[in-house]
Structure formats: C-alpha cells, structure tokens
Structure 1
Amino acid sequence: MSMKQTTFLPSINPAYSLSSHFERNSILKMAISSQYFSYTIFLLILQMLLPTILYASNDCRYTSIIAFGNSLTDTGNLKNIDSVFNITPPQYFFPPYGETFFLKPTGRCSDGRLIIDFLAKGLGLPLIPPYVGSKENGNKTELGQGVNYAVVGAYALNSSFHEARGVFNSLTNVSLGDELEWFKISLSSFCTSSSDCKQKIGHSLFLVGEIGGNDYNMELVAGKSIKQVKSFVPLVIDKITATVKELIELGGKIFVVPNLLPLECAPLDLTLFKSSDARMYDNTTGCLISINKIEEYHNQLLQRELHKIQKNYPKVNVIYADYYNAALQLYRSPKQFGFVQPLRACCGGGGPYNYNPSAVCGEPSSTVCAHPNTFVNWDEIHLTEAAYRMIYMSVFQGSYSIPRFSSLCHAITS
C-alpha cells in the first residue's frame, strides 16, 4: 500500500448559505367524540380520505439523490480527478472492476453496481453522475436527478489531521468537508434564487456516507493501536453530524446516514491482523473481534447523535441506515443469501483470504473468481454487486434502518 501520495483539492469558494424552514405535508386529524355520530357516515368519510392518506405514505416524492462519502458510494469522481490531472490511476480503475454490470471499469470499486445505484433504480431515478465528471468536462453542473460528490479514499476528517499523526493517504486528500464545499459551490448552478434552492433541495434525498471507514482503517494499517484509533471516533462523528446540520440549514429535509460496514471482515484486515489465537475471531463469522470495537463505538455514537438531530429538527427526517448489521448477516449466514465464500475475496493475489499486497485486484498478477455473485467480498476492502444488492434490500426495503425507510417510501422497488 506504499503508493505515491496524490494530493487533490479543487479551489473552494466561500460558503453559499441559505436559511431553511421545512414545510411538511399537513397531517389530517379527525376526532370522533360524539356518541351519536353515525357509524355509517364515519365509514363514508374514511372511504373518501383513505386514498389521500395512502398517497401521502406511498409517494416517494424524491426528485434527486445528493450523495457524499467514499468508495462505497463514488461512481466516478476519483477516476475523473485522476484523468483531469493526468495522475496515474489506482488499480480500481482497471479490469476486472465493473465486469458484472457495466462490462468495463467505471470508477466504482466493485465488479458492478453500488448501493447508491440500486437506490436510484428503486426510486425511479437514473444512475447518479459524479460531480467532477460533469464539472471538468465543461458541462454546467445541474441538480437534475442527482449529483454524487463521494470520492474513493475520502476521509471524514481533514487529511491534515491524519498527516500530523504520520498517516498519509495514497489515493486523495479529499475529505467530507471538501465534498460539502463542492455542493455549496454547485448551488449557484442548481437554482436561480434562495427559494428555488429550498424547493429543489427540499425534494432531494441526501445520502451522507458511509464515511469514516478510511479514517480508521488507514490508521490501523499504519500501525496505530485500537485505543489510538478509538480516541478520535468522537471527532469523526462530530464531522458527520455537523455536515448533516449544515445541509439542513441549506434546505435539506430527508437524510439517510449509514453506519460503517464490518471492516473486521475485510480480507485486508483479516490478512494484516491475522492471529493464531482463536479467541481473536468471532466464532459466528470468522471476523476479527478487536476491530469490531472501533465500529461498535462509531455506530453507537452516530445513532445517538442522529437521534439528537432528529429531536432538534422535528420537521426533518433523519434515517440511520444500518449497513453494518445488514452486511454482517451475509457473513453469519452466507448460504441463506446465496453466498458460498463469505470472507475470501473474489479478486486478489492469493493467500487464505485472497489478498496479497504485491498482487492486488486490478493488477495483471491478480486473478478473479468465475462467479462473483457467490462472493461477499470483491477485493481486499470492497464488496461485490451481489452483496451491495442485499444490503440495499435490507436497509431500504427491509428493517435495517431507524426509522424504517420503507415506511416513509413504500413505492421503492428492487
């Protein structure tokens, strides 16, 4: 993982700020207090009102998706950054990446589609384009049906925080704060006035994350202890929640904020932190127990802070997306979901988990499995399209979110 460090940070304009007031659909309240009220009349009134009630709950009303995050969500930003600045691209942008669905590399760190791609399809939207791609090709950035600001390798915290600790990112120096600034810059292209911005942003679904995984994993790989990494988890959570609050002030109304995926089940971590002590592994998954302590702490703090935001902004919907447990079930009961290889990477350079830092996926010396749809892990750190589809279904169609996303948007499809 000793790649030459790439530094990229577009010029940032002063923040574009808007005030935000959320106007919800009015909720019909009907009190039937008189004992003489006719039951027949009540049924007639209920019959007239029922279509309106059902319409309010079944209509998604999301006109676009605005996304922030890292490689779990990036649909081409880093690929386009490297192309614009003539930077040698990482292995993620070479075959066999993209082979399952797109039949070529697209900048997605998987064999095919990501969770955001399935979400867009489920909401009846096209695939969400990367921000850098549209901007650097000379096209005016339009909100349209969505914009994706996520970047492979992005931190939640500023890169300077990690660099001061002796940890350097070989992929990019982009952070969540930079992605938010890009969004603010885009507002002048999205809308013609403050009221126009509020209208458009208010009908968008904001996907904020997953983010934070790189902050933790790159520090672990650099040799930091579990205790050292846990010490800055509150800073990561503060950054995520501050971002959500700022987006609310800009006009956002609907937010999905995912927690972390199980890093302890990634071939990279399983290989680098392998142990001869069986007690270091979860006997139901085979994943590392120690790294789980970081994610458990992160996820608990995130859920608690999002609850506070929801309480302070009652007219906004903040949804905690439990990517962690949605993914963990794939490792615990792989056969139930059609997987035969829960921990081994589909694409890699050999070893117990098919991860070899000298022959990573995308390099000529690596090999790829014949059936990615039977694997959970695609490469050393990312999942297969099949796994992402299952996580999408569990979170956005099932019960792995608080509150349930499906209860707010019944019209979503697979």
Structure 2
Amino acid sequence: MAILNKIFSCLPVFILLYSSTLHVNACYTSIVSFGDSLADTGNLKQFVTNSKSEPPHFLFLPYGETFFHKATGRCSNGRLIIDFIAESLGMHILPYEKMKMNNAMKIDQGVNFAVVGATALDSSFFEARGVNNPYTNASLNVQLQSFKKVFASICMTNSDCKNLLGSSLILMGEIGGNDYNHPIIAGKPYDELISYVPLVINTIISAINELIELGAQTLVVPGNLPIGCSTTYLTIYHGSDKVKYDNTTGCLVELNKFAEYHNELLQTELHHIRELHPNVNIIYADYYNAAMQFYHYPLKYGFTNGALKACCGGGGPYNYNMLVACADPSSTTCDQPETYANWDGLHLTETAYHVIYKSLFQGTYTTPHFNSLCPASTISQDIFTSSSLVQSF
C-alpha cells in the first residue's frame, strides 16, 4: 500500500499566535518534536484523511484502544513517550498536519512534526538502493524545513526567534530507526546496513547544529532501541542457523550490537557538539538500556506474557506475520496489553513506553539527567492514569 508522499509540502499562509508565558512546568514554553512512528501522534493520519489515501492498518482499532478507545494515528494501543513527556510538563502538543488545517492556530505549547515511517536520510537515498518506504517521504530534513517555515511565521525578529526556540524543549525523535528497518525488511545485507550508520548520524547531527544556530538551548537526542529484541526481526530470522541469540533475553545478538554501534557513534558526535556549544543542553536519551530493563526482567515490569511476543498480530511463534498486520480481520489481539511489552511487532505497548519514559525523564537513563535540568518534570500526579492533557484528535 502506497500513500501519497507530500505530507509536508506547500505550507499555506497562517496567522500564528505565540504566548511566551511559561507553563506549569516552569522550565519550557513549548515542545518541538521530530521523529517517526515512535513519536507520531496523528500527522500521517491527518494527511491520509486530507488526501483521501488508503488508510494503513494502524488507523484502525485495536490501535489506540487502551487509552483513547479509538485509533489516533499512534502506533500503539495507547500513549507514546512523547505523550508522557507533554503530560509531565503540563502541555498539549499538536500534530503539525492537524494545525495546518486551520487558518489561525496557537502553538505556544508545542508542535509535533514526527511521521510514521520517517527516516533520517532523504527518501532519494533509499530509492537509489531499491528500498521502498510505503508511508512517507517526510525525512528529518523535510520535517526540519517545515518547522523552519512555521518558525519564521511566528516571530518578527531573529531575536524573537532565538528566544522562542531557546525556551522550547526540542525532541529529536527517535529518528534513524527506519533507516535500518526498511532495508532489513527489504533483505539488505548486514554489511550494507553498517555503511548507513555514519550517514544517518551525520544527518541527525547536522539537524541539531542547524537548530542550535536558530537558537535551540535544550535538545533531547534519543539513541536506537535494541532492535535485536524486535518481534519483527525475531520472526524474520526465526529458524535461521546464521544468527545468535542472547541466552538471557532471547534477543538477536548481532542486531543489538548494531544498535549499540549506532548509539556509540551518536554519543561521540554529541560530545563534540557539547564541546563546541557548552551553554547548550544536549541530552542523550538512552532508549537502548532503558528498554533492555524489561527484556532482561519482564516479570519485574508486569510483562507476564513476556517482552518478545506481540500482543496484536497474525500468529506464529511471536504472534507476528508480515502478511497479516495488527488490525487485519484475521489478526488476534491479546486481552491484557499491559502484560506485553510488544504491541504489533515493530512497536511497543503503552506500558512499555511508560517504563522507558520514567527511566529517561524521571530516572537515570539520560546524560545529563533530564530531571536535574527540569526538576518540575517530576510532578506528583500519576500521569500513567491521567487523561486531561492528552489529545487524541
């Protein structure tokens, strides 16, 4: 299924309203988010609706069933990490495509440019290598250019722009995972994947540097998840005598080492940025080790059905079938998603995302620790059950 891929082209003229008043968190005036399906809260859904394209499977129940009770465009049964971040800071964050629908809009609390399927590298890179992206061409650069158009419309002077961006929390994804997901699913060899990593990292670093030049002062940069624990890849390589499994987790050793290589290279480059810009907060978010907690100890986090089997899928040893997606009439969905870490093969459940969120933003899995920079983010309300600040659209 191909979807028309012009999600972020042609920005109409907007009357954009901005309030510089700090919100209840006392740390940031707004959130600006880039990324892929780990952060998309409705951009691709809105684009499909506007363009009358064929809707992909994640725009149907049981996606969204646990929290929103309807499909919102999020690739999970409920909320994502970005939802928990926004809630903890007392903010609403709107999908860019939703905001584009209006001639006047208020974006003082944030805008989300993340799109399901997005890559760091431009789509032309993958097209030249015979790799198809069925969802979007909204690469990191496309998202950044869309942001710059909005940004330029909000403020009247360079000083205003720098002040606005300097008081915002910038979330750089997660982005880059699909630069490997699409080629792996297309059957590209491991050696070719390795060659992509420096290019992906350079693209992310280039975007960070551009945002810093525009005035960004606080950027959260996630690493890659442990893709060797992905239900999708465990299914693809199931039965192969060419792969090794971690005896303690059941994950694929080589793919996890690949993710670690990506993360090590990313951290090296982030260190260089910190040296060049000592007054800018560059926060590395260790998605890999935050997630490895429940792959090592699933029962500790309530995952009584394990961390490797999908809650929603088309059967098989891991309940994943590339020909029968979650939400397909012939797929099955578990009764208790909170007892599963994996939702649909590629994505995690709301409960798993909440574990990662807490480890990152209220724990020790960021460098430097996020809650040392913004203690107000550790607000007392139980955001895992709160619903007042999350918008479903």
Match of 1:134 in 2: 99
Match of 2:17 in 1: none
> Which residue among 276, 279, 295 is the counterpart of 2:259?
295
CA distance in 1, matches of 2:176, 2:248: 25
Give 1:140 deviation, angstroms.
3.2
Match of 1:219 in 2: 183
CA distance in 1, matches of 2:180, 2:25: 38
Is this contact kept in 2: 1:141–1:190, CA < 8 A? no
Please say if 1:347 is aligned against 2:312: yes
CA distance in 1, matches of 2:362, 2:349: 19
271-280 or 223-232: bigger deviation: 271-280
Match of 2:359 in 1: 394
Please say if 1:374 is aligned against 2:372: no
Match of 1:176 in 2: 140
**Structure 1 unaligned residues grouped into runs of 5+:** 14-57
Match of 1:124 in 2: 90
Is this contact kept in 1: 2:201–2:265, CA < 8 A? yes
Is this contact kept in 1: 2:62–2:77, CA < 8 A? yes
Match of 2:234 in 1: 270
Match of 2:245 in 1: 281
Secondary structure, in 3 states, of the residue corresponding to 2:375?
Answer: coil
Match of 1:79 in 2: 45
Residues 352-398 of structure 1 deviation map (CA, whole Å, 9 limit, x = unaligned): 11001222101111111111111100001000000000000000111
Is this contact kept in 1: 2:7–2:47, CA < 8 A? no
276-285 or 366-375: bigger deviation: 276-285
Residues 125-168 of structure 1 deviation map (CA, whole Å, 9 limit, x = unaligned): 12x11001110x22335431000000000010000001100101
Match of 2:9 in 1: 11
Is this contact kept in 2: 1:159–1:173, CA < 8 A? yes
Alignment of 1:33-52 (within 5 A): none
Secondary structure, in 3 states, of the residue corresponding to 1:232?
Answer: helix
CA distance in 2, matches of 1:284, 1:10: 43
Please say if 1:243 is aligned against 2:207: yes
> Which residue among 326, 333, 354 is the counterpart of 1:361?
326
Match of 1:333 in 2: 297
Give 1:82 deviation, angstroms.
1.0
Give 1:262 deviation, angstroms.
1.6
The residue type equivalent to 1:356 in the other structure is N
The residue type equivalent to 1:378 in the other structure is W
Residues 227-256 of structure 1 deviation map (CA, whole Å, 9 limit, x = unaligned): 110111000000001101100011110000
- Is the alpha carbon distance of 1:5 and 1:107 closer, same or farther for their aligned partners in structure 2, counting shifts above 3 Å? closer
CA distance in 1, matches of 2:134, 2:307: 28
Match of 2:54 in 1: 88
- Is the alpha carbon distance of 1:229 and 1:278 closer, same or farther for their aligned partners in structure 2, counting shifts above 3 Å? closer
Is this contact kept in 1: 2:229–2:256, CA < 8 A? no
CA distance in 1, matches of 2:240, 2:140: 37
Give 1:186 deviation, angstroms.
0.2
Match of 2:36 in 1: 70
Is this contact kept in 2: 1:78–1:107, CA < 8 A? yes
Give 1:59 deviation, angstroms.
6.7
CA distance in 2, matches of 1:300, 1:10: 31
CA distance in 1, matches of 2:200, 2:8: 22
> Which residue among 247, 254, 259 is the counterpart of 2:218?
254
Is this contact kept in 2: 1:60–1:408, CA < 8 A? no
Match of 1:51 in 2: none
Secondary structure, in 3 states, of the residue corresponding to 1:197?
Answer: helix
CA distance in 2, matches of 1:349, 1:395: 32
CA distance in 1, matches of 2:105, 2:124: 29
- Is the alpha carbon distance of 1:59 and 1:363 closer, same or farther for their aligned partners in structure 2, counting shifts above 3 Å? closer
Please, what TM-score do these two structures have when normalized by structure 1?
A: 0.85
CA distance in 1, matches of 2:210, 2:10: 17
Give 1:10 deviation, angstroms.
3.6
Alignment of 1:139-218 (within 5 A): 139-218=103-182
Give 1:276 deviation, angstroms.
4.8
The residue type equivalent to 1:219 in the other structure is P
CA distance in 1, matches of 2:9, 2:350: 34
**Structure 2 unaligned residues grouped into runs of 5+:** 12-23, 384-393
Give 1:60 deviation, angstroms.
4.6
Secondary structure, in 3 states, of the residue corresponding to 1:298?
Answer: helix
The residue type equivalent to 1:71 in the other structure is S
Residues 287-343 of structure 1 deviation map (CA, whole Å, 9 limit, x = unaligned): 111212321111000011011101100110000000111011111101111111210
Give 1:192 deviation, angstroms.
2.6
Is this contact kept in 2: 1:142–1:190, CA < 8 A? no
CA distance in 2, matches of 1:190, 1:117: 24
> Which residue among 358, 373, 381 is the counterpart of 1:408?
373
- Is the alpha carbon distance of 1:202 and 1:255 closer, same or farther for their aligned partners in structure 2, counting shifts above 3 Å? same
CA distance in 2, matches of 1:141, 1:158: 29
Secondary structure, in 3 states, of the residue corresponding to 2:94?
Answer: coil
Is this contact kept in 2: 1:70–1:153, CA < 8 A? yes
Measured on the aligned residues, the alpha-carbon RMSD in Å equals 1.6
How many pairs does the alignment contain? 366
